[in-house]
Structure 1
Amino acid sequence: MNFELKTLSLSAAAAHKCDLLVLLVPEGFQPQTDPLSVLIAEALKAGDLETKPGRLLSLYLPAGIAARRLVLVGCGQGNAHAVRQAVQALGATFKSPAIKRAALVFAMDGEAGVVGAAVRAIADASYVYTATKSKAEPRSLSRVTVGVADAGAVRSEFATAAALVTGIEFAREWANRPANHATPTLVGEAAKALSKHAGIQCKLHGPAQVAKLGMGAFLAVAQGSEQPLRFVELHYDGAGRSQPPVVLIGKGITFDTGGISLKPAAEMDEMKFDMSGAASVLGVFRALAELRPAINVVGLIPACENMPDGKAVKPGDVVTSMSGQTIEILNTDAEGRLVLCDALTYAARFKPAAMIDVATLTGACVVALGGLRSGLFASDDELAARLVAAGDAALDPCWRMPLDDEYAEGLKSNFADLGNVAGRAGGAITAAKFLQRFVGDIPWAHLDIAGTAWKGGAAKGATGRPVGLLLHYLLDMAGAHAAKRKAAAPRRARPAA
């Protein structure tokens, strides 16, 4: 979809030709003398329009308005959260085949973040999956004009939001694909295709290369599948070589049966979403290609299937990870941590400023936090604070969870250096403690997105989270590096008077 930003007063909005004009009306709206202001004021006075977020009043061919359809939408206090809620209420409208060109105009001076929230909400509401449908109608909405009081003041925010939408939709597309249309090989090809963008390089490692690297834990998960594994290595070089990169690691289990520890049949189809961490890394790189920030980023994706073949790893088997630590696989359905631990060990070779792994790792995190916030575990307080702030800015929130050493007690094994599971209690935490064994002294964070990566039921589908959180974090770090360089730059001496 194409978004454009314009300076549009309410008077100019009334003359803007489009199929749909959406006006966001806040509490305390102050009308002027233009036709739209008069219409809003009359609707509020009559009680036909409320400013509570998401309350709608729809009109067809309104007099004096160039748009064919007009929708007045309450947006409460006009903050980013309320604007997103207001736009989400228009989901069915944005998907109407009759709506090809739309405009969304703020009937107020918006605070920081509202333009980005509106752009992301429009994209989310109008998204249509079509990849494996024979007669699917593609998204009819092709262009959206975002009208604000001063386009220049929010141009940077708008550009970030438009790039973020591109990345989120790329992530959603790959997470939504059925497993036979998103094999490890195809995921690798999707990553390779990103290298057509300036600044991005891709390297693919196959089974032989992974075996040579000594990734015994990753190999163990993949050995029950006929689909060959892929270890994807992406590089975005936006800064000088002297700047250490941030490494993003995405769990890429393209389908998870649980292996020999077989999952129940009910809703097992949703295990195609088990590569949502990998999809989010792909989405971040797609957005980086649009924005080109001054930062270096490495993306690692261990991609494979977890299947119950006769060659599959068995409960009680002991494998040797790339780090040299041995692991007793007590439950083959705790496979995500096995592929991630080898990727974490590999990531250390880049001497990163930080490592962040992203995974649909545990049902325990869903129990703890539901579908609102992703679980955040971090070894470094500054990294944790930046990720929390980035999530809040992106309306993609997370919640920091504990990493007390005592939680690792349950991972002790009589037959290996550690087991891959502990008891049921604190399952999301013990999974994070397992991963922490492979981190060393590098600042590290783990995002458990099992509750936020997709929705079930009638709204079944990938959300594209946490692409927003990760991109905002990277942009924040790019800004911090720029400020540091500026502060360190020698000042020119002033000429003598």
Structure 2
Amino acid sequence: MEFVVKSVKASTLKTATLVLTVAEDGVLGAAAQAVDAATGGAISTLLKRGDLQGKPGQSLLLHSLPNLKAERVLLVGIGKAGELDARQWRKAAGAVAGTLKSLGGADAAVALQDVTVRERDAYAGARLLVEALADGQYVFDRFKSKKAEPRALKKITLLGDKAQVAALERAATHGTAIAAGMALTRDLGNLPPNVCHPIYVADQAKQLAKQFKGLKVEVLDENRLRELGAGAFLAVAQGSEQPPRLVVLQYNGGKKGDKPYALVGKGITFDTGGISIKPAANMDEMKYDMCGAASVLGTFRAVLEMQLPINLVGLLACAENMPSGRATRPGDIVTTMSGQTVEILNTDAEGRLVLCDTLTYAERFKPQAVIDVATLTGACIVALGSATSGLMSNDAGLARALLDAGTRADDRAWELPLFDEYQEQLDSPFADFANIGGPKAGTITAACFLSRFVKAYPWAHLDIAGTAWISGGKEKGATGRPVPLLTQYLLDRLE
């Protein structure tokens, strides 16, 4: 999907579909008024009949209006004048994307001159639109014997005033890159686990390095992990025929000598729970347990497409958690790369075991900050549902930056506490600590476990168990979150 920016009158533009916004009570902005005047009042006449109330996400498709070069006009509601917020704007963008999917035109144009999203400038409002429209064209049909029809829509033009052109061009560049990163993340999450295993994820990282300049990829196999003393990481993988991989990505787009930022992703390509096996219902969705690693790879794709002037490290902790005669048992004690020992009370609390060794490995890069991303706990879904990611951190400034980035990207997180009292739940009589803290505050005690391996740098943990995918029904699938949040955080570091 190509996005271009023009500063021309909407009423004179030749396009298959012209998109105009309409506020409640039929209120038209200046661009829509000009188009209405060119058509002899055809639009306002329809609105007076009550064909469109202008509520957020409502739409009305009009054909062959007089005196226009546009073949069709799509009216989309944006709610009460002056009260459009990010959520309503996404709803309107979703309606546009849904309609454009069903049309035969090769191009469309969206008049943005009159659109003002609360607490967002022209760049931020347009970027939300670009991300929503591009993501709305996503299709995953790799394993369908009958493929989806090729998309007719190839280009979308963003129409703005001359003063808006630079901001809209920047929004188009960034939004397209973020949407491409989300698509990669969604593809990896949606792949079946018999295809997407640790070696496959490593291969996809290598493919990304071939596609974009500046990316270096190193893959650590089980022998190298053993040499490093990654006892917790290896314990998770030992029940599977699929060998583990720690995938190391390095992008040095910033100044030489600048400390990098590091993103760490949980990549459990399938999670049965191991010996502490999960219930059969919905276990197929445990292919999404690698969405943390997928979102890190997707964020790298966005950064690489934009060629951001930043130094970035990515660490993908990839393994498969299976039950077998070789699998880790509840009660086993392992020694982590840090030298600390862990009593494994529940083999289904495996994500923190691959992450803890990976977080220790991150020290060698002397990072400015480390953010780990993981579908870690069902407790996070209980606490925050599927709208918001959980955030915990050992650094108030880093936590604030991520919360702000989530708000700006409309990919929000919410901070939970890491009080010392929660640490006591991990006490073990046999090892330095256990890998679970009991039934209370499961999201927090999981982060408390990870916090014991991150003393060397500012660290934040994003629990995306509720936001990484949609469960059940026709809409089931990976969401691509939190690629927008992570990319926004990195963009903010350049300001």
| Long gaps (5+) in structure 2 | none
8 Å CA contact 2:237, 2:320 repeated in 1: yes
The yes-or-no answer on 1:142 pairing with 2:139 is no
Aligned to 2:90: 84
- TM-score norm. by structure 2 comes to 0.92
1:58 CA drift (Å): 1.7
The yes-or-no answer on 1:127 pairing with 2:138 is yes
1:31 CA drift (Å): 4.5
The yes-or-no answer on 1:279 pairing with 2:290 is no
- TM-score norm. by structure 1 comes to 0.92
Q: 1:184 aligns with which of 198, 212, 232?
A: 198
Between Structure 1 and Structure 2, how many residues are aligned?
476
List structure 1 runs of 4+ shifted beyond 6 angstroms: none
Aligned to 2:4: 4
Q: Specify whether residues 478 and 30 from structure 1 end up closer, same or farther in structure 2 by C-alpha distance, changes over 3 A only.
A: closer
1:87 CA drift (Å): 1.3
Deviations 1:263-295 (A, max 9, x none): 111111111110000000110110111111221
Aligned to 1:492: none
Q: 2:44 aligns with which of 38, 41, 46?
A: 41
Aligned to 1:17: 15
Deviations 1:11-54 (A, max 9, x none): 23xx3222x33222345534576334544433333322222211
Moved more, 238-247 or 37-46: 37-46
1:100 CA drift (Å): 3.5
Take 1:292 and 1:359, find their aligned partners in 2: how far apart are those partners? 26
Q: Specify whether residues 65 and 104 from structure 1 end up closer, same or farther in structure 2 by C-alpha distance, changes over 3 A only.
A: same
Q: 1:448 aligns with which of 457, 463, 468?
A: 463
Aligned to 1:388: 403
Take 2:451 and 2:378, find their aligned partners in 1: how far apart are those partners? 19
Q: Specify whether residues 8 and 176 from structure 1 end up closer, same or farther in structure 2 by C-alpha distance, changes over 3 A only.
A: farther
Q: Specify whether residues 95 and 167 from structure 1 end up closer, same or farther in structure 2 by C-alpha distance, changes over 3 A only.
A: same
Deviations 1:228-267 (A, max 9, x none): 1111000111112321111100000001111111111111
Q: Which amino acid aligns with 1:21?
A: L
The yes-or-no answer on 1:474 pairing with 2:490 is yes
The yes-or-no answer on 1:58 pairing with 2:33 is no
Q: Which amino acid aligns with 2:481?
A: R
Take 1:265 and 1:67, find their aligned partners in 2: how far apart are those partners? 53
Q: Which amino acid aligns with 2:76?
A: V
Take 1:216 and 1:36, find their aligned partners in 2: how far apart are those partners? 69
1:183 CA drift (Å): 1.1
8 Å CA contact 2:22, 2:29 repeated in 1: no
| Long gaps (5+) in structure 1 | 480-497
8 Å CA contact 1:109, 1:148 repeated in 2: no
Q: Specify whether residues 339 and 223 from structure 1 end up closer, same or farther in structure 2 by C-alpha distance, changes over 3 A only.
A: same
Q: 1:116 aligns with which of 124, 127, 140?
A: 127
Take 1:297 and 1:6, find their aligned partners in 2: how far apart are those partners? 34
Q: Specify whether residues 138 and 436 from structure 1 end up closer, same or farther in structure 2 by C-alpha distance, changes over 3 A only.
A: farther
The yes-or-no answer on 1:195 pairing with 2:192 is no
Aligned to 1:486: none
Query: Percent of aligned positions with the same letter in both sequences?
Result: 50
Q: Which amino acid aligns with 1:88?
A: G
Local SS of the residue matching 1:471? helix
Q: Which amino acid aligns with 1:317?
A: D
The yes-or-no answer on 1:159 pairing with 2:165 is no
Aligned to 2:338: 323
